[in-house]
Amino acid sequence: MAAARGVRATERRRSLTGSDTGRAAGLGLAAMAMNAISLVFTVVFARVLGEDGYGSLITLLSAFLILAIPGQALQVAVAREVSREAGTADSALTANVRSWAGSLAALALLLAAVGALARRPLADLLGVEVEWAAAATLPMACGWILLCLERGVLQGIGSYFAVGASLVGEALARLAFALAFVGAGLGATGAFLGTGAAVLAVAAVLALLIRQRLTRAGHEVGVRRPLGGLVRESLVAVVALGLFALLQNVDVIVVRNLADERTASDYAAVSVAAKALIWVAIGLGLFLLPEAARRAKQGLDGRPVLIRTIALVGAAGAAATLIFAFFGQLVLRLAFGEDLAQGAPALPWLTVAMTALAVVYLCVQFLLALERRAFLAALAIAALVEPVALAVVGADLTDVALTVLGVDFVLVAGVGVAALRAGSARPSPQGPGRGLIDPDPVTTTHEPR
């Protein structure tokens, strides 16, 4: 136990800074940096691949993002459960990580074979001509799930710097591998496979890092967790993140169907700019969830952590709204060109809406940490109401932004109240652990920061 507590203390010293606010802000900045590099990726390959090749790449990446949702949900489950055993990381967790990696490797090989055999039907399903790229979507999803599991472990033990660095490293590696593969003449297939290569490279690095971070016992004992059990426990997170992804993107889909091509393109540019706030929230959530779960297990109130992260995203949203209110057209012109700057009047309103949605994301992460699920009803209702409301208001971009703002404000009120109420219930310090890592009779107490 002394060695295990030493691991925990070391991880806290290695965190982005010594405070909750600093560590959360660091992860938010890492997520923003990853998003910025992804934007560079978009701009570069739109020019390198041309219209047809870039269209295939976007379609493939969209399919990959759909397959990525279960991985993100598993990351939530792992981070939540590992964080509850603060200070007791030992051989059982190490053995579990190895077991999960082995199961995913075997599944990836099986799916690679299935993909190779069914590459033509998969390409037809996705509407692309690059058959081998379509075949790669299945094994790439397994690699992504492994990477998410590893990030969840690192979140759980408090190694936030490593998590943030992996976000930036993955984005940079994705750009580098894709450029190399396209340079080798692989076209859109190479650009897509660059994402898979980056995921595998970062997963390999994190595997070594996890092995160094965790305390190894002389023999492997403790509660072993099969991957299937972890998948079952992540179903609520899958539904929550799926509904949130729908809320995040449904406005673009509706406008694309209602408006002419120019108006839809203008709104897409406005949406990309405003939704940078979501990436801030995603980074903050990487800190919020394990910290909230850990404090709940210890009988501490996790709401101060939630409030601090909300304050950070609120400050970022206020600054972005002011900038876009006065310089929105200039920002759009510099980022996307003169042709896509006509949606500037809608940008400040949509930025406020995305700030509210970012707060919803943080509340969802907090509620997932506490294993609540009633909030799913609010997300589902909002996901049903928003597209109907958008269809009613039509294709005027300012009206669209105001409609999204109205839905998000109502949603943030409902989910926010649920989060604050849930956080007021303080469980016993001996709260129910599920044994991702070996339970120990000694209780380690961490002071709230």
pLDDT in tens, 293-304: 888 877 888 889
Ranges in the chain, pLDDT < 50: 1-17, 86-91, 216-222, 427-449
- Asked if residue 393 lies in contact with residue 399, where contact means CB atoms within 8 angstroms, the answer is yes
pLDDT at 198: 93
Among 209, 233, 257, identify where a domain stops.
233
The answer to whether 396 touches 350, Cβ cutoff 8 Å, is no
Q: Would 436 be classed as within a structural domain? A: no
| Tokens coding 75 | 């990351």
In a domain, 25, yes or no: yes
Query: In this structure, is residue 197 part of a structural domain?
Result: yes
Is 153 part of a structural domain of the chain? yes
Contacts by residues 400-403 (CB-CB < 8 Å, ≥ 24 positions apart): 400/251, 400/254, 400/255, 400/267, 400/346, 401/270, 401/346, 401/347, 401/349, 401/350, 401/353, 402/349
Please check whether residue 431 lies inside any domain of the structure. Answer: no
Structure tokens at 120: 């033509």
Q: 192 and 284: one domain?
A: no
Of 233, 256, 286, the last residue of a domain is 233
Q: What is the pTM of this model?
A: 0.76
Residue 9 has what pLDDT?
A: 47
Residues 63 and 183 in one domain: yes
449, part of any domain: no
Q: Which residue range is the domain that position 161 belongs to? A: 1-233
Tell me what pLDDT residue 223 has.
52
Note the pLDDT of residue 153: 86
Residues 6+ apart with CB under 8 A from 178: 41, 45, 190, 191, 192, 193, 194, 195
Does the residue 180 lie in any domain? yes
Q: Is 303 found in the same domain as 203?
A: no
Of 171, 204, 233, the one marking the end of a domain is 233
Same domain assignment for residues 214 and 240: no
121 and 260 co-located in one domain: no
- What pLDDT shows up at residue 220? 42
Domain-located, residue 403: yes
pLDDT at position 292 is 86
- Asked if 139 and 269 sit in the same domain, the reply is no
Residue 247 and residue 166 share a domain: no
If asked whether residues 90 and 220 sit together in one domain, one would say yes
- How many CB atoms lie under 10 A from the CB of residue 408? 23
Are 163 and 258 part of one and the same domain?
no
- Report pLDDT for 268: 79
CB neighbourhood size of 271 (10 A) = 23
Q: Please give the tally of structural domains in the chain.
A: 2
Q: Are residues 339 and 288 in the same domain?
A: yes
Do 218 and 240 lie in one domain? The reply is no
Domain shared by 280 and 332, yes or no: yes
